[in-house]
């Protein structure tokens, strides 16, 4: 099933909602990053958050969400670009931790609860925007909830979940954002109660429920649906970009690479290696 995002409003526009399934994307990121289950869970949650944060872009865009905590996972980044292209990486993707006492993955411990969640938004025709908030728990969902409230000043509830299968790979991943707009006071408690029941979000997606099904469970009628938008994993690295990186180095560093008879640029997102030949290094140095 293709990963996608759907938006909806409910209760005559008093409630705004976004839901996404990111299972395939999170699986691919886990594979190319060679990520452990706990790292894959953190990356999958961050991917869902990034996909939902791009729901309002109208033109060409790039959004990057970064979590830099004090846990052993290190800095994690998810990026979404025009066309629904997604990639993500972790500083230490092979980190492995024991399960929490309740049997769940220790994502908060891997990420850490001290540090920042930072969002960089770039959209054609508009000035770049950067916002950040202090980490609350490192569980990603709670941290995104704080970011939404601080950046948009709208009461928001965020749920992101990743289920790891018995084979150690991502089996289900997705997220939901519910925002209470003016006029929603009369139904806010009922929606909050339903939202608390979605702690099994990743299980529902794994069992075949769609993002649309999740929103139907949460939202009161009438619901107005907006077109679905597809997302897929794709890294944007290339040989040309790798050469550009080498060209940006100081000349003494390029000369040092020549002494080593060549160089190799490795993408931190997909681990693709781009060899830079000795002749190319000499051309760069001569410029």
Q: Could you read off the pLDDT tens digit of each residue along the chain, which spans 287 residues? A: 899 999 999 888 888 999 999 999 999 999 999 999 999 999 999 999 999 999 988 899 999 999 999 999 999 999 999 999 999 999 999 999 999 998 899 999 999 999 999 999 999 888 898 999 999 999 999 999 999 888 877 778 899 999 999 999 999 999 999 888 776 666 666 777 777 766 678 888 888 899 999 999 888 888 999 999 999 999 999 999 988 988 888 888 878 888 887 788 899 999 999 998 888 888 887 87
Residue linked to tokens 């890294």? 235
Q: What's the CA gap between 286 and 254, in Å, rounded?
A: 10
The fold of 239-286 is CBS domain Like (3.90.1280)
What tokens does 176 get?
């939901």
**Per-residue pLDDT at 276:** 86
Which residue stretches of the chain are H helix?
23-33, 37-53, 107-111, 141-152, 185-196, 201-206, 211-218, 239-247, 251-259, 278-286
252: Cα within 13 Å, side-chain hemisphere: 0
Looking at the DSSP assignment, which residues form a beta bridge with residue 7?
Answer: 18
| CATH homologous superfamily, domain 3-233 | Hsp33 domain (3.55.30.10)
Query: Which pTM was predicted?
Result: 0.92
**Please, where in the chain does CATH 3.90.1280.10 lie?**
239-286
Asked if residues 97 and 38 have their Cβ atoms less than 8 Å apart, the reply is yes
Strand 76-81 relative to strand 85-90, pairing: antiparallel
**Please, where in the chain does CATH 3.55.30.10 lie?**
3-233
**Per-residue pLDDT at 223:** 93
Query: Helix, strand or coil for residue 260?
Result: coil
Q: What's the CA gap between 273 and 262, in Å, rounded?
A: 13
**Per-residue pLDDT at 106:** 95
Q: What torsion, rounded to 10 degrees, do the Cα atoms 116, 19, 188, 194 define?
A: -100
Query: What per-residue string of b and e applies to 225-244 under the rule 16 or more CB within 10 Å gives b?
Result: eeeebebebebebeeeebbe
């Amino acid at each position: 099933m293709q990963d996608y995002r759907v938006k909806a409003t409910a209760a005559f526009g008093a409630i705004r909602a976004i839901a996404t399934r990111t299972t395939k994307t999170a699986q691919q990121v886990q594979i190319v990053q060679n990520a452990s289950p706990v790292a894959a869970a953190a990356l999958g949650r961050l991917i869902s958050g990034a996909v939902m944060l791009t729901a309002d872009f109208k033109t060409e865009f790039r959004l990057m969400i970064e979590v830099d905590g004090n846990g052993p996972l290190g800095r994690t980044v998810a990026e979404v670009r025009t066309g629904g292209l997604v990639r993500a990486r972790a500083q230490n993707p092979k980190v492995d931790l024991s399960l929490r006492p309740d049997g769940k993955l220790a994502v908060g411990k891997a990420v850490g609860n001290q540090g920042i969640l930072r969002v960089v938004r770039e959209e054609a025709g508009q000035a770049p925007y950067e916002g950040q908030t202090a980490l609350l728990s490192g569980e990603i969902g709670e941290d995104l909830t704080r970011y939404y409230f601080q950046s948009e000043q709208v009461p928001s509830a965020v749920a992101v979940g990743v289920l790891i299968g018995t084979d150690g790979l991502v089996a289900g991943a997705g997220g939901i954002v519910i925002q209470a707009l003016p006029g929603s006071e009369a139904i806010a408690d009922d929606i909050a109660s339903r939202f608390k029941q979605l702690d099994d979000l990743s299980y529902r997606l794994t069992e075949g429920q769609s993002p649309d099904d999740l929103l139907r469970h949460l939202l009161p009628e009438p619901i107005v649906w907006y077109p679905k938008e597809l997302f897929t994993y794709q890294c944007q690295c290339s040989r040309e970009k790798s050469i550009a990186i080498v060209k940006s180095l100081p000349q003494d560093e390029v000369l040092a690479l020549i002494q080593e008879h060549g160089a190799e640029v490795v993408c931190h997102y997909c681990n693709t290696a781009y060899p830079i030949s000795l002749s190319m290094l000499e051309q760069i140095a001569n410029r």
